Structure formats: structure tokens, C-alpha cells
Chains A and B, each alone.
Chain A
């Protein structure tokens, strides 16, 4: 990701960029409001000052995207071992997916908090326990106990240190993008760290999307408390709804776009894993001998952990399932095979919210594609009724 231009930062972004790196700061904002931009700025400023900074994220794809050093869970295990000489306390939980059931290890934050309370700062035996500055992106994805645990480390583990010297935290969160109901709301985060109003910054404007894309995306929005970002002023091309007769037409269109826009990060986002594989194979074959790179990732694919994914570079087409695309953004987003997107009546709001999150991944270009010659796909009913918001391409 390029460094931001000072001249293009908004007042609310500048407030955060210029915030002192002490204590705990919460940056709350809806998708596209520039949380990651300010996080990267903060991280680079700290590096320039030769101070220790960790930028941690929740999932592996995001780690690659933000060039975060580690996922939070991985960092936590390593850090605790170095700091205390012990393993982080854990329990097992039963996980069921389809017919398979297995036991999965899970960090036990409550036990860790109890250990800190019991031993106080005596628990931490090395200087490495002081993490310096931590920037926690997509912090709504962590459970509330993880936040309580970090607070306990700051306040009890480093009780004897001057407040300005304690390990600092910048927390970036958006409760609109919680993965599950077990994740954290902004109020829970604020409560976990006993935050004052002064510790919270709010980003309200959309800086990611063009105005045309934001206007289109918001038609899918099903409200939550932090609401939507204000519409951006920056203009762009209108989103296009492209009706194709077969999958290869969609592939051709994406390929043509990629050839003309080799500077851009392009995403092909699909609902089903099988569709992901088909698009990946076809596009990969198309660009086999070219400088354009086609990459993919799936959490179901055990052969890859996403570490070879390349973001923040032009000439890359990333094919992902919807679930892996959360938190990411791309210059151009193609949503092909939308005719098969499930919009079951009882889950209509969920379907709309999914479309909101997926369409708002696009910065400059958005193409929704349907191989639906008879026009009977259910997804049409979710698309905006105002035809001025898009261009229909047959």
C-alpha cells in the first residue's frame, strides 16, 4: 500500500495520524473509511522512530494484505512464551463442520487474566514482554476476552510503569463487519479498556469507493448501529451489471480488463468454492505466459496458508470466495456467477448484507456478472431498482 499523501488526508484521518503513540486508542469506522491507511501510516512513523511496532490482524489473508507481521493468535502464543516462559493457557472446543467433528485448541484468555492477577508484574520475566506499540486491525473479530486480556497486561502486568511508558495499543474496529455474534462490539471494546471519549476516534467518510460504487453498494445495506460511511465525493465509472450467456464470457471480460489495467489489483469474488476453482483455473491458464499473476486462497484448502498471496501490487488477479474477501479492498471487483448466489427468503437480509460487503470491496470498478439468459435468477430482486445507479450491459 502506498504511503498516503498529506494533502489528501481528511481532517478526521489527520487527527489519528497525528495522535500520540501512548495509551490505548480506538479508531472506529465503517468499511472504506481509511482505518488501514491510518494504521499503516502509524506503523511506518513508529518504524522511522525506531520504535517497536506490531501490526496484527485476525486472519491470514488480511495478514498478507496489510503486510502485518503475524496474525494476532500466532503472535500471542509466541509473545506469551517469551514473556513468561510458559505456554499460553488453552482449552479444547468441539468444532463441527458438515459431518465432521473435531477438537480444536482455543486460547483461554480468562485463565491468562487470572494468572496475571495472581502474579502481577512478577509474571513477566523479560523485557520482551513490553510489546512497544501494537496496532490491532479488524479488532471487532476478536472475542471480548482477548481485549480484556490485553488490558490486564497493560494495567496489571505493567502496573509500576508510568502510563506514558506502558505498552500502547491502537485498535481499529468496525462492528458492521463482525464475523459472528461472538465477536466484539465497539462498546465492549471500550468497556474492556475502560476508555474515555478522548480515546476514541471516529472515521465517518468513505474514502475507498468512488461515489458511484458507494451509492450502488448502499442499496444493499441492512443497518447496524455504527451506520454507513458518508458518501465519498470522488467520482468514478458507474458499476456495470453484465449479462453473460456463459462463464467463458465473464472470463473474457475479466481478462480484457486485466490487460488494459495492469496497474490494478483485481478481485474475482464468488460465493461457491467450486466456482472459485473454475475461475482460478481458467484465468490462470489465460495468463500462464504473462506478467499478470492469478492467485487464489481458500481456508478449506489445506495446501496453502495464504502466505504466498501478493497484495498491494498491480497486475494481480485474486480469486476468492466471499468469506475470505472481508476486510480487503481492490481497485476492480468482479462478482461473476451471481445467478447462483443464494437469496433464500428467510436469509434475504443476510444476502443483502453479503452483497453490501462484497460490492464495497471495489475502489474504482465494479462489475456484477450473471450468466442468466432468461433473467429469472432470484438475485435480480436484490439489485437496485434505480437503474440510474448502474449500467446494464447485455
Chain B
């Protein structure tokens, strides 16, 4: 039977085939059991995802109740009798699916749904009007139909309700499923609420092979993922911040999922114990004071014995994110916060702290329980495609448990720049755009760009979070000057760093390592010479060894608030001149 083209046809064409036997295939669901399909983009048997309390068939069954042709009438009647106000819903499945064994399908993706069929118009209207925080029928926009015949099939056409899974097998798959649900939730939250900054975007998208070093955010998110997967052995973690994130995500997923509630002081205690367990002895000795101080302060704040500290991005983001999560518990109040020091809130929370706390909360919440706003990117041109993608993402982690699990589609992220500092990332799945993320720029950096443009400099971007100005002289020499924001702890205001590279310390083999082999070879006399230069009264800047640039650079810092045109021009020209003169002295012109 040829199918009509639906306006909500799925983005995965392999499903769009006609069943070989010509029968339409259905999975029997109800208003009680359809939730996961819409809230997490796929449906699995209750034996895996949790019992639904609509026991019209054995909920321990390893497959979904399905039929080739109409659903057996006795199933429909049993379902209606199982619970008051239970309404049967037949999910009509697209084409012949590879995962349609004789014993019934073990999962269903949203991308395989052709239509949701109801027995009566009243049932359909009631379903259409249902509104929940974790799914939105209008947003998913499935094709909805009424056809009473679909629910009145002959007995014997159904499969999938008889063979119960072995309990041990169920436990194993359920554990894997919970981990994968946490990862899918993390993935969704990174896309919806992760800051629109390059580091965060990289944490969302697959690593590019061209890049040498991962962003700090990638490293932090990887630590969090390790906690979800339970990948960290006792006494193995070296870095304190990473140990804290790994410990927190592991504890949240395994001991304090949403259903358990939120005894904050108990959660804190469990996280501290887990940090102690996974940290290496050296790391723990080194950080014992910090850990004790942080845990005591956190407990005092939880118990309202001390005022809460400000939670801006100026110090350890992971520890502050964990404290913020301890105070909020759930993801919604975390996302309700407007981040930044300019926020009018009493408790000021940094953008990165908020995002990291949301990631941790997502692990605890899982994909299905996430509110729609945290699951579907704002202004998503196609929310259904995005949910289909998340459903496949979730299922792909169960590859070892089920046959024919679909491969994970890769999410591609492309930056679309409009001008320096302005642009957006476009998120696509199989060339279909599913979301956009506006680039977030530090307001200080925007001001610097405006100052530079106003003084007729050629202003471009440098790295992920900086600007570059090229100073040119009549002798055809040129020198780059980098501008970056410095955010010191406290309320002393933001600083701008003007820097210009004078001598490269990088080598092809160093690839981000510090100190570089070249730096290690420098003589003491060379370094003393740099210090002596810094002491010269005519030098309004200083020579430094710059880890990020892997170079000897000339820098000057200036308070942003008081920076005017004249000072801006002076600093740019001065560091450029000093760096270029140094290059000349060395007989080189590496930076232009």
C-alpha cells in the first residue's frame, strides 16, 4: 500500500518503505505509556525503562506489544480494563523495520513513527490538549488520526507480550540504559543551555582531528562523562577539579536520581567521599585543605549557618557548580538563573558555573525527565528532528544489548561568522539543520572591538576568546597585537591584556605542552636579560613567557573601565613596537 507523503515525514529515509506483507504495523501504547516516545525520542519495553502500572500484559516482557495489521481487540479491551481512563493509542510504524523479530520489536524510534492512531475523536482531542513539562505534543507534531478499526483486530495477530526477559538481563540493560539516558540528557543540555562559546560548542560536537588540544570545557565534560560511565578507578585521578566532577556525576546518577529526592547535606557527604576514593594519594594530599575548606563551607551554607559565597566564573568552576547544584537540586531552578556579575540576583552565578551545574543536574535528571526547554534548543527549526536525533543517540548506547540498534548520527556544528565576534553555530543532523546557537561574546571584548574599529585598526579574532590587531609600519614591517580580557577575583574590575609575540618558543613536537623543549633550552642569561629589560624606565610594558601563545611576549594590562582611545592606541603601538624591535634585535621577523 503506497503511503502518502506526510508533512512530518521523518528525517531518516530508510524507514520509509512499504511493509513486505502489505500489512500496516502497529505498536499498542496508551495515554499512560506513550510519554517516553515523545519525551526521549524512543520507546522501550517497561521492563527496561520502569513499570508503567498499566498491567494489561506482562510488563516484564522484553518486547513492545505489536501487531501486523490491526491490534487484537482483546488487547484493546484488556488495556481499557487495566486502568481507569486508559486510552489506547496505536503507533503506526513506518515500513519494514529491521528490528521486527517474531517475538516483537524491542524498541521503537520516533523516526519510525508514521502516525498515532486513536479509537475516537474524543480520545484524540484529549491527547492533543495534554500538556506536560517533559513533552509537548505540539512541538513533536506527530501525525494524529482516528480509526476505530485499528483496535478491533482478530486474535493472534499480536506479538511481543509473551516472553519475559530474565531478571538479571533486565537489570544489566536497565543500568546501561540509565547511563545512556544521562549522557543523552547531558548532550541535550549542552545544546540547549551550554553557553555559545567555542569551548562549550566543542564539548558538544565531535572533536575535530585538526585540533591539537581539547578545550578546557571538553576536558571537564569528559570528566563528567567518566563519572557517568563509572570509568575511574580508585586512586587514579590527578587533577582535583576533574576528580570533583567525576565524583559528583557518579554519585548523582547512582545514588541520587530525581526519584530519590534531594537531601543536600547527604549528597555533599557522598561527593566528598567519592572524591577521596578516586583521587590519587598525591593529589589528595595536595588538595586536602581545599577539599576540607570547601566541604565545610558548603555544609554551612546548606544549613544557613553562613552567607552563600558568590559563584562567578573567577575560581574553580567545578566546585562552584557543585555547590550551586547542592543549593538548587533540580535543573529548572538552575536554568532560571540569569548568569553574570551584572545580574540583579542576590546570589551571583557565572555563566560557566551555571552551565556546568546544569550539566550535572542533567545527569541526575535523565533525558526523559528533562523539561522541554532544556531538551529542545530554543528556536529549533525542527524540534521533531532534534528529538529523533536524541532518541537515536540514546538507543545507540544500547548497541550491545539489542540487535539492529541504529547507529548514532553525528551532530555537525558549523560556525557562521557575520563579522568579528558576531556569528552563530548551526547544528545539523544528516544535513538537516536542527538548531542554532548564537555566539556569546564577552561585553568587554565587544567594547575593545568597537574601540579598535573606531581608531581605524584592522580588528580580527584571535583564538576563541580574543582579538587581534595588526600594526603596520612604513618600512613594510608589521606586528600582531592580541587583546584579551582578564577577570581577576574580587570586585576590582576587568582588565585588558595587550600582548605582542616577540619570539616563538613552540616547536613542531611540543603541541601544546608546557614548558616547550625550546623553553627548556633557554639559558639563564637569556632570562635575566628579559628581566633587565623589564626594569628599563622607558618600557611601559614587560616581557613574559606566554603559555597560551608558546612565545616570549610583550604585555601590558589596563583596567577596562578607564580605558580611552588615547590609551588604547598607545598600548597597541607600544607593545607592537617593543616586540618588533626585539625581533629586529634577534635578526628575525617571525610575527607579522
Contact = CB atoms under 8 A, between A and B. Distances in A.
A19 B130 CA distance: 12
Interface string B252-284: 000000111111111000000000000000000
A260 B262 contact: no
Nearest to B337: A263
Nearest to A198: B84
B398 to A, nearest CB: 19
B264 to A, nearest CB: 6
Contacts of A257: 304
A336 to B, nearest CB: 13
A45 B129 contact: yes
A292 B329 CA distance: 20
Interface in B461-516: none
B565 interface: no
B264 A263 contact: no
Interface in A12-70: 14-15, 17-20, 41, 44-46, 48-49
A3 B131 contact: yes
Contact of A18 (B86, B262, B344): B86
Nearest to B137: A48
Given A11-B83, A262-B346, A256 B306 contact: yes
Interface in A193-212: 201, 210-212
A45 B131 contact: yes
Interface in A254-268: 256-264
Q: Is the interface of B mostly helix, strand, loop or mixed?
A: loop
Contacts of A385: none
B35 A7 contact: yes
B261 A256 contact: no
B76 to A, nearest CB: 16
Contacts of A11: 53, 83
Contacts of A4: 132-133
Contacts of A6: 35, 39, 130, 132, 134-135
Nearest to B134: A5
A264 B330 CA distance: 12
B126 A18 contact: yes
A85 B87 CA distance: 42
Which of B87, B307, B344 has most chain A Cβ within 10 Å?
A: B307
Contacts of B86: 18
A106 interface: no
Contacts of B134: 5-8
B39 A236 contact: no
A49 to B, nearest CB: 4
Contacts of B369: 5, 7-8
B379 interface: no
A5 B265 contact: no
Contacts of A235: 260-263, 266
A290 B301 CA distance: 19
B301 A260 contact: yes
Contacts of B336: 263, 314
A3 B131 CA distance: 8
Which of A2, A49, A237 has most chain B Cβ within 10 Å?
A: A237
A125 interface: no
A361 interface: no
Contact of A233 (B259, B306, B329): B259
Nearest to B324: A260
Contact of A263 (B260, B263, B302, B328): B328
Contacts of A7: 35-36, 39, 134, 368-369
A96 interface: no
Contacts of B53: 11
Contacts of A2: 133, 332
B85 interface: yes
Contacts of B347: 259-260, 262
A2 B330 CA distance: 13
Contacts of B304: 253, 256-257, 260
A259 B126 contact: no
Nearest to A364: B262
B327 interface: yes
B308 interface: yes
A219 B145 CA distance: 53
Contacts of A259: 307-308, 346-347
B342 to A, nearest CB: 13
Contacts of B131: 3, 41, 44-45, 48
B442 interface: no
A67 B120 CA distance: 33
A52 to B, nearest CB: 14
B346 A5 contact: no
A292 B264 CA distance: 23
B39 A19 contact: no
Given A18-B85, A263-B333, A210 B346 contact: no
Interface string A132-170: 000000000000000000000000000000000000000
B83 A15 contact: yes
B125 interface: yes
B154 interface: no
A321 to B, nearest CB: 23
B83 A3 contact: no
Contacts of A101: none
Contacts of B133: 2-5
B262 A19 contact: no
B69 interface: no
A251 to B, nearest CB: 12
B85 A20 contact: yes
Contacts of A44: 131
Contact of B84 (A3, A8, A15): A15
A18 B122 CA distance: 12
B307 A256 contact: yes
A56 B266 CA distance: 41
A18 B87 contact: yes
B371 interface: yes
A49 B261 contact: no
A33 to B, nearest CB: 17
Nearest to B49: A7
Contacts of A5: 132-134, 369, 371
B346 A212 contact: no
A291 interface: yes
Interface in A230-276: 233-238, 240, 253, 256-264
A211 B129 contact: no
Nearest to A210: B261
Which of B83, B263, B308 has most chain A Cβ within 10 Å?
A: B263
Given A6-B39, A48-B131, A257-B304, A211 B31 contact: no
Closest 8 CB pairs of A and B: A235-B261, A234-B261, A263-B333, A260-B308, A18-B85, A6-B132, A5-B134, A48-B129
30 contacts: A3-B133, A4-B133, A5-B132, A5-B134, A6-B35, A6-B39, A6-B130, A7-B39, A8-B258, A15-B83, A15-B84, A18-B31, A19-B84, A20-B122, A48-B131, A49-B125, A49-B128, A49-B129, A234-B261, A237-B264, A253-B304, A256-B304, A260-B301, A260-B302, A260-B308, A263-B333, A263-B336, A263-B337, A291-B345, A393-B303
Given A45-B131, A233-B259, 7 more contacts: A5-B132, A8-B134, A14-B85, A19-B84, A210-B262, A256-B306, A263-B337
